Amino acid sequence: MQTTTQSPVKINEQKAVEEFMQYVEKRNPHETEFLQAVHEVAASVLPYIQDYPHYVQHRVLHRMVEPERVVMFRVPWVNDKGEVQVNRGYRIEMNSAIGPYKGGLRFHPSVNLSVLKFLAFEQVFKNSLTTLPMGGGKGGADFDPKGKSDGEVMRFCQSFMTELQRHIGPDTDVPAGDIGVGSREIGFLYGQYKKIRNEFTGVLTGKGMEYGGSYMRPEATGFGSVYFTHEMLLTRGESIKDKKCIISGSGNVAQYTAKKIMELGGKVLTVSDSGGFVYDKDGMDEEKWNYLMDLKNVKRGRIYEYAEQFGLDYYAGKTPWGVSAELAFPSATQNELNEKHAKTLCKNGLQAVSEGANMPCTPEAIEIFQHSKVLYGPGKASNAGGVAVSGLEMSQNSLRLSWSGEEVDEKLRSIMRSIHDNCVAYGKEKDGVDYVKGANIAGFVKVADAMLAQGIV
């Protein structure tokens, strides 16, 4: 975020951010996504800690931007034609000050060290905000599950876990899903872990209900993002009912965002995938949602097939941000919503943005939203419901019991409310709430205090 005020204090703050970023850039050259995520946090946290010199003296933020451990490994596997394939696997163990490393696995051809370090860094603050005891981590591979048979995906997952298993454990590091890793992949990964280690533990979350999963984990990220939007709208006496909503993506997060919006009386006008977006002027309904679930999770089809099925408009190669709406839910991938999109959305009467994806809005887009007084929920707050219910899955696994869907949903609602309250506590301004500042500082303080208590380790 740019500092616009010219007072001497503000200039010093800006200088502190610039100097810090020079240090981080020098150590992590070319890691653009990681540097983007660090810059956003540094711009919130460095001005704040000027008043708390112990954080500065103990170089807490300098330590936070250095992963505790990075594992990179070869993932060899054999495709259906009998050809040997080689992918690269990763696990970034970023911070364990407040609990075991926790965060998803992403299988996508765009995965590299920078992308996973940005995700792991965000995860540290997000997990801290959930109020649950979880450190931050992220992993994955540059493997593309698209177009692969179930057998190929299984062999890949088995090879990936053959190495990953020596680095994780229910009290050490607990992975889950993310882009390209859903219930099918978690099942294959869990099976291989169990076979090698000969133990049945809660080492992964997002498991099937038959083998230790939690009710509401599939729904949690999307539902949580809508609950967070509800809380933001409440601050202005508004609600989701009758609001026009646009969603990007059509995967796990987008699916359950759509479901909860419909339940609360909002109108879902768009969904998308990497091929393009679908515009539905009448709004999604239950029949369409059921079709989408089957298309994406069972048939593994493309979003144009959804448009064809219901005679909806399909825009190939386009994003949904040109559609006029009051609420936007970017729920696909990083940097999918830029400055130009943000200007169009604001011109069209946007009231709130809730990031279902991690870092979907560029820094320029965020600045436009904030200047336009659009309620803007950053991903580390608004999409924290997924990892929060993962934390609840870990608790249930440790207790060896299972809570009902209603119980978990109630806990999720209450966690999203407390994340919102925490953002307000640290981000309240004269004329509203700066949710970016609130989330970054609230997430930082808990981890920083734990790090101070534990000494220089």
Interacting stretch for ligand 2IT, rule CB under 6 A, among 19-27, 139-147, 365-373, 384-392? 384-392
Q: Are 279 and 246 in contact (CB under 8 A)?
A: no
| Residue of 117, 164, 166, 113 whose CA lies nearest to 137 | 117
Interaction between residue 103 and ligand 2IT (CB under 6 A): yes
Q: Which stretch binds ligand NDP (CB under 6 A): 196-204, 321-329, 353-361, 400-408?
A: 353-361
The whole-angstrom separation of Cα 98 and Cα 68 is: 13
- Written as one letter, the residue type at 26 is K
Using rule CB under 6 A, residue 123 touches ligand NDP: no
Residue 180 interface partner, choices ligand NDP, ligand 2IT, none, CB cut-off 5-8 Å depending on type: ligand NDP
Q: Which among 327-335, 398-406, 410-418, 430-438 is the span making contact with ligand NDP, rule CB under 6 A? A: 327-335
| 137: helix, strand or coil | strand
CA 336 from centroid of its chain's CA atoms: 14
* Residue 333, contacted partner among ligand 2IT, ligand NDP, none, CB below 5-8 A by kind: ligand NDP
Q: Which is nearer to ligand 2IT, 128 or 205 (CB)?
A: 205
Taking CB under 6 A as the binding criterion, the range among 142-150, 243-251, 385-393, 417-425 that sits at the site for ligand 2IT is: 385-393
Torsion angle of the four alpha carbons 149, 155, 156, 160, in this order, in degrees rounded to the nearest 10:
160
CB atoms within 10 A of CB 54: 11
Q: Which residue matches tokens 């493997």?
A: 143
Q: Is 178 in the site for ligand 2IT (CB under 6 A)?
A: yes
Q: Which of 366, 387, 408, 423 is the binder for ligand 2IT (CB under 6 A)?
A: 387
CB of 195 to ligand NDP, least distance (A): 25
The token pair at 329 is: 């839910």
- Dihedral angle of Cα 364, 370, 373, 374, to the nearest 10 degrees: 70
Task: Estimate to the nearest angstrom the gap between the alpha carbon of 26 and the chain centroid.
Answer: 27
Catalytic residue among 117, 138, 243, 446: 138
DSSP class of residue 358 equals S
Residue whose tokens read 């872990």? 193
The residue whose two tokens read 């050259």 is 29
Work out whether the CA dihedral 335, 417, 137, 15 comes out positive or negative: positive
SS3 171: coil
Q: Which of 390, 397, 422, 440 binds ligand 2IT (CB under 6 A)?
A: 390
Residues 188-207 that bind ligand NDP (CB under 6 A): none
- Where in 191-230 is the site for ligand 2IT (CB under 6 A)? 205
Shortest Cβ 366–ligand 2IT spacing (Å): 18
* 288 within 8 A of 310, measured Cβ to Cβ: yes
Instruction: State the minimum distance, in angstroms, from the CB of residue 170 to ligand 2IT.
Output: 13
* Cβ–Cβ < 8 Å for 455, 270: no
Q: Of 4-12, 155-163, 164-172, 179-187, which part binds ligand NDP (CB under 6 A)?
A: 179-187
Q: Residue holding tokens 């000969």?
A: 198
**Residue 270 touches which of ligand NDP, ligand 2IT, none (CB < 5 to 8 A by kind)?**
none
Which residue, 34 or 315, is less far from ligand 2IT as judged by CB?
A: 34
From candidates 98, 113, 357, 394, binder to ligand NDP by CB under 6 A: 357
List contacts with ligand 2IT (CB under 6 A): 102-104, 123, 126, 176, 178, 205, 358, 386-387, 390
Catalytically annotated residues? 138
List contacts with ligand NDP (CB under 6 A): 177-180, 182, 221, 249-254, 273-275, 331-333, 356-358, 383, 386
